[in-house]
Amino acid sequence: MKKKEEVFVYDVYYNDINELVVISDSKEKEVKIMYEGIEMNSILSEPNEDIFIHKKSAEFKEEIKININGRELLFNPKKYPNLEGRTIVSTLVRNEDPVIVQWIEFNKLIGVENFIVYDNSNVKRWNENFKAAACEESNLPELLKEYIKRGEVILIDWPFPYKKPNHGFVAQKAQQNHSLHAFRKSKYIGFIDVDEYINLQGKNNLEELFESQDVNQEIGGFRFKNRSFYNIDHQPEDGYEFLKIQHCSGIQNRFKCKCFVIPKKVEKMAVHIVRKGVKEYLIDDAYFNHYEFLNKKSRGHKHKKKHGVFLDNSMLVYYEKISQKQQSV
């Protein structure tokens, strides 16, 4: 008889609508979790999806016991800040210290108010190309300490393998759904990486862009198309100089899109799309720039011609804005 695989628990916490939440993964088709003798509600995993979300309305307790597939375990649940009504971004980082501060400042410029940063740094099993990361050692608590003091950044230690054999990219899937259910009262949660920059195409901020969309149906958020950028001429990349780089692919409608979702309308994310809940609205007049070379030394310096060869200088206006902001500080 094949031995049952253990359920791996990422976190147990209370969210901002007084629910106890358990985020886990398993290749078993069912994960049954009991709390105080009652089975917790489960957001069922789809085929080939192995992240499980269990929730139950509950009062806060510093120490609890839960039963997972017949095993009783002791936990000290966390409680995260309430970010009600705020536009936030959730991201998973892996040794990307040299590029995260500039990314935070850019996103503040376009209207992001809080950042949930999941620190997967120094986990050397995450990828066979670990040495190609932006830096070999990371110290985000020190680097981001002023943002953390001001409450702009919530730094969450996420020391889990990025990818598991036969499981896929579970650390990122778990990160996204962890944020989705921790910050239910936030207005929007964006799920983007630190080498991805929203290109508002002349709009001043995200709110202005979202309000300008001709939406005549219920939506769970907004989906951005992707345009990849390549530094084929080895132009400067320091600071915001990379925003001047214009060599890029065509705008890709289905490949690696990213979302800003309305958390109360979405139950499960799957990296690029809403997996469960009200579906997102595809934006046609804006997209995000994916600067593939920023955080990985091994990519982004050759043009992937299969996606087209284009020039795009539309980010220069935001280069000027962020430069002016830095000069005024």
pLDDT tens digits, residue range 31-86? Answer: 899 999 999 999 865 555 678 999 999 999 999 999 999 999 999 999 999 999 99
Residue 83 corresponds to which tokens in the numbers above?
């970010």
- Strand 41-43, strand 51-57: pairing: antiparallel
- Please list the residue range(s) of the chain that carry CATH number 2.60.40: 8-79
Distance CA 302, CA 19 (A): 48
Residue 9 amino acid letter: V
The fold for domain 87-328 equals: Spore Coat Polysaccharide Biosynthesis Protein SpsA; Chain A (3.90.550)
Domain with CATH 3.90.550 in the chain: 87-328
pLDDT value at position 44? 66
Helices (H), the chain: 97-109, 140-143, 145-149, 170-182, 206-212, 316-328
Asked if 315 and 196 count as a contact pair (C-beta separation under 8 A), the reply is: no
At residue 282 the predicted structure's pLDDT band, cuts being 50, 70 and 90, is: very high
CA 185: distance to chain centroid? 17
Answer left, alpha or beta for residue 166, where phi above 0 means left and psi between -120 and 50 means alpha: left
| CATH architecture of residue range(s) 8-79 | Sandwich (2.60)
**Reported pTM:** 0.92
Q: Pick from 25, 200, 195: which is nearest to 111 by CA? A: 200
Task: State the pLDDT confidence band at 13, using cuts at 50, 70 and 90.
Answer: very high
What pLDDT is attached to residue 257? 94
Our CA angle for 305, 310, 312, nearest 5°, is 140
The pLDDT confidence band at residue 175, using thresholds 50, 70 and 90, is: very high
* Confidence band of 166 (pLDDT split at 50, 70, 90): low
DSSP letters for 191-219 = E--TTEEEE-TT-SSHHHHHHHS---S--
| Bigger pLDDT: 5 vs 223 | 223
**Geometric angle at alpha carbon 298, from 293 and 300, rounded to 5°:** 35
Q: What is the Cα–Cα distance from 207 to 40, expressed in whole angstroms? A: 36
253-272 per-position pLDDT tens digit: 776 899 999 999 999 998 88
Q: How far is it, in rounded angstroms, from Cα 325 to Cα 104?
A: 13
Q: What span, in angstroms and rounded, lies between the C-alpha atoms of 178 and 135?
A: 26
In contact, 250 and 287? CB cutoff 8 Å: no
Let me know: does 111 contact 92? Beta carbons within 8 Å. no
Three-state SS at 287: strand
Four-residue CA torsion sign, 163, 267, 65, 6 = negative
